[in-house]
Structure 1
Amino acid sequence: MKNEAVPASREDTNPSLPQGDFEEPLTYAEGGLQGWCVVLGSFCAMVSVFGLPNTAAVFESYFSENQLSEYSPSQLGWIFSIYLFVLFLFGILAGPAFDRYGHRGLVAAGSLVMIASLEILSFCTEYYQIILTFSIMAGLGASLLNTPSFAIIGHWFNTRRGLAMGLAATGGSFGGVIFPFVLQAALPRFGFAWSMRLLGLIYLIFAVPTNLLMRTRLPPSEKFDSIWPDIRLFKEPKFAFCCGGVFFMEYGVLIPLTYIISFSMSKGRDASSNYLLPILINVGSIIGRALPGFVADQIGRFNTIVLTVGLCTISVFAVWLPAGSSWPALLVFTFIFGFASGGNVSLIPACIGQLCDSRDYGRFLSTAMLSASFGTLLGIPLGGLLLGIKNQETAWTALILFSGFSYVVSLACYIAARVLAVGWKLNAVY
């Protein structure tokens, strides 16, 4: 049976929504030296933006045993959830600013703020100090980098956008692989302060290609004078369901990323071997961020994200929940989950891009990130509250179920968005 392709173009959007008045049809380079250099620059930016949250399990384990040992898992969870909340919340301003003014000022400022935050973090010993530097300052710098780094790819790619964004998104997983190795070697030998300064140096190295390689190609949008996102975009049902999928996906993904080391330690594993778990998640995520992007360009972006969210759901319920103290089962879960969740991360920007004109992309993406920001703010602390249940076996079961059912709701939202677009036709490329 022949597949029915649904174009990823302006026609896919609701004409009643506020779109820019663009008379000229868009053309795309779909690669070339400059286009792939932009992807490389975005990759380097993602190392900085998502390298820290993808190493959250290492930080959570270290903080709980050292300078913040008197704080509960829920309190420690706020460190990482506020970082992501600030990242996505202030990203809603970065998107329209990118559409209107370009990327250079945003990317340069974001790079400097992130490097400075790690240098200041090296002096921090108190909970409130870590919140101010790690969560708020670094999160603010990351917000200035994140949206432009994805939006700029939309200037160069259309039919290959899923692949290009997937390759760029692997930067976050690459950071999640190298940072645990760095911290595992540096923390016992040099201590927390110099380990953070070393991370700051790594961030400086990656900031150079980030700022040199990124270039816009399309003219700025003249239609919108305000840098604020447009809440009216939620009137479009497909966009609203897509944002709902993002919101509940954040609940699901952050639980394993943050608590997988603590889960393994509760089963009697030693700390040194547990560092392998976030590394394995991110190795799987590197493959997962690149391969589904390529597949999405062939079978449809929403079709692919339905598959990857479904795989996350299965991995949580069928592998992590019954794993118990089985180390091989936990290794299998971390790799499968890393692969599937990595695909989700790279596909979200591509799915949003399918719902709008590329010249409005920053505004649409940043508005979608508004919903993600509240998911990231609440997900980890709620998980920490569940770990406060006195019976530890019950607590971990409740935490895993919370992650799994969050994915179930996210999956339902993405299916609803797809059905609204193409109905129940399984062979429709969308």
Structure 2
Amino acid sequence: MSDADNEKGRSLDSTENVKQPSIQVGYDEGWEAWSTALGVMLLQFSTYGYTNAHGVYTDFYVREYLPSYSSSQISWIGGAQFALSFLIGPVTGPMFDAGYFRTMCYGGSLLFSFSLFMLSLAQPNQFYQILLTQGIGLGLSIGLTYIPGIGLISHHFSRHRALAMGIGASGSALGGLIHPIVLNRLLRTGLGFQGAVKVSAGLCTASMGVACLMMYPRYPNGFIKKGFSMETWRGNVVRYFREPAFLFSSLGTCVALLGLYFPNFFLQLNAIKRGIDPNFAFYTISILNASNIPGRILPNLLVPRYGPFNAMILITFSCAVLIFGLYGVEDIGGTVGFAVLFGFFSGAYVGVVAPMVSSLAKDTSEIGSRVGTSLCLASISALTGSPIAGALLGDDFNWSPPILFSGATVALAAASFGMSRFFVARERGTWRV
């Protein structure tokens, strides 16, 4: 054998040794696996579930606590919160892959609790105080916990991964059901704004503490914790976006967030401005988020059979149709019907997006960085989507422009997911993708 052949053989052996720690580690049974899924659900209940109650804050700020600011300006609070939770994905994803799950999970939980208690000290008409605590503080803390939590489920599950991810993601819907009811009731008692936020901060702190105890990191045998390399990160990002399927799926995720959360932020305000009894309107966000729960879980039962891309196209298109349907919603019956249907399909979107992106990973070592990179691109839309909708709404509360904008962007996202599906199906030679 020639020296060249020997060198080639040594190179192949070296490559195999490098990839060995990235073997699939998923298993579909055991206490630690299901405890982790439930722990992630509880963590999502406390963090993303709290952001799903932002519609209550938006209504309260516009009408009572920040009357000197427009709805567009107030929307920057929720936009900053969502954007920052996605923006740091390219850092938290690789750090999770490198073995720093507990560092990010514990650190993010502490920051979330601190920021929420600081929000309780914010004074009326002090926009910057609320932006710093609720927009920036909560946004960063959610970003530190979201990808590590969802990614950890992938390490425990293989065959039932989509279902387990759906269970984990359902926590935010459960939080979106409970937190709005609690906040609405507390804000209208003698406790006032500061007391209401302190009570909810205590609830979130307790649930996050239990969640941290229930989650178990599981890395491959022989795994060695690594440092974060900017050079490696840049190389991976370039490689990911050279794949047409990843490019179009990330583009679809980005465009979708321009309009997908418009109902979450403005449905309660829309109901009140259309003359619906405020005592009922306060429950619209909770109804929407209650429908989120089956939406996060049930579609993921079909993903293993029909594929995440097929499911995502149907889900996103349905969300677009429903947003356009807001044109005809003017009474209690229409509001409830919209909240139930949109809650289900928007919940399905959140439940399927991570399995869809992670299905493009070559092995488990890429899951965190791929999901993080894709969500980072979406942070631009998360930041600007709500303020754009608020600006289109205007001080005269003309609902047609924001409805048209939000529905069109979500429809465009469905088309982008369709392009991604085309490339994946062509590569794998099957329509079940």
| TM-score relative to the length of structure 2 | 0.90
Q: 1:367 maps to what in 2? A: 373
- Partner Cα distance (1:22, 1:62) in 2: 53
Q: 2:207 maps to what in 1? A: 206
Q: Does 1:285 align with 2:285?
A: no
Shift of the alpha carbon at 1:174?
Answer: 0.6
> How do 1:28-39 residues align onto structure 2 when only pairs under 5 Å count?
28-39=26-37
Structure 1 runs (4+) deviating above 3 angstroms are: 219-225, 227-230, 423-427
- Partner Cα distance (2:415, 2:17) in 1: 31
> How do 1:314-333 residues align onto structure 2 when only pairs under 5 Å count?
314-317=321-324, 319-323=325-329, 325-333=330-338
1:344-364 per-residue CA deviation (whole Å, 9 max, x = no partner) reads: 101111011101121221111
On the 8 A contact 1:255/1:383 being kept in 2, the answer is yes
Q: 1:241 maps to what in 2? A: 248
On the 8 A contact 2:25/2:219 being kept in 1, the answer is no
Q: 2:259 maps to what in 1? A: 252
1:372-430 per-residue CA deviation (whole Å, 9 max, x = no partner) reads: 1111011000001101175x4xx301111111101111000111111111149997211
1:118-173 per-residue CA deviation (whole Å, 9 max, x = no partner) reads: 11111102100000000111111111111100000110112211100001001001
Moved more, 44-53 or 56-65: 44-53
Shift of the alpha carbon at 1:270?
Answer: 2.9
On the 8 A contact 1:102/1:216 being kept in 2, the answer is no
- Partner Cα distance (1:403, 1:44) in 2: 30
- Partner Cα distance (2:101, 2:93) in 1: 10
Shift of the alpha carbon at 1:49?
Answer: 2.1
Q: Does 1:334 align with 2:334?
A: no
Instruction: Find the partner of 1:45 among 36, 43, 68.
Output: 43
On the 8 A contact 2:70/2:395 being kept in 1, the answer is no
On the 8 A contact 1:277/1:334 being kept in 2, the answer is yes
Q: 2:185 maps to what in 1? A: 185
- Partner Cα distance (2:278, 2:188) in 1: 12
- For structure 1, which runs of at least 5 residues remain unmatched after alignment? 1-18
Shift of the alpha carbon at 1:209?
Answer: 2.3
Shift of the alpha carbon at 1:217?
Answer: 1.5
Q: 1:23 maps to what in 2? A: 20
**Secondary structure, aligned partner of 2:216:** coil
Q: 2:58 maps to what in 1? A: 60
Q: 1:13 maps to what in 2? A: none
- Partner Cα distance (1:20, 1:266) in 2: 63
On the 8 A contact 1:106/1:144 being kept in 2, the answer is yes
User: What RMSD, in angstroms, separates the aligned Cα atoms of the two structures?
Assistant: 2.1
Counterpart AA for 1:199: S
> How do 1:401-412 residues align onto structure 2 when only pairs under 5 Å count?
401-412=404-415
Shift of the alpha carbon at 1:223?
Answer: 8.0
Q: 1:429 maps to what in 2? A: 432
- Partner Cα distance (2:224, 2:420) in 1: 27
Q: 2:360 maps to what in 1? A: 355
Q: How many residues align?
A: 408
**Secondary structure, aligned partner of 1:218:** coil
Q: 2:229 maps to what in 1? A: 226
Q: Does 1:217 align with 2:218?
A: yes
Change (3 A) 1:240 1:174: same
On the 8 A contact 1:107/1:144 being kept in 2, the answer is yes
- Partner Cα distance (2:355, 2:24) in 1: 17
On the 8 A contact 2:25/2:155 being kept in 1, the answer is no
Q: 1:296 maps to what in 2? A: 303
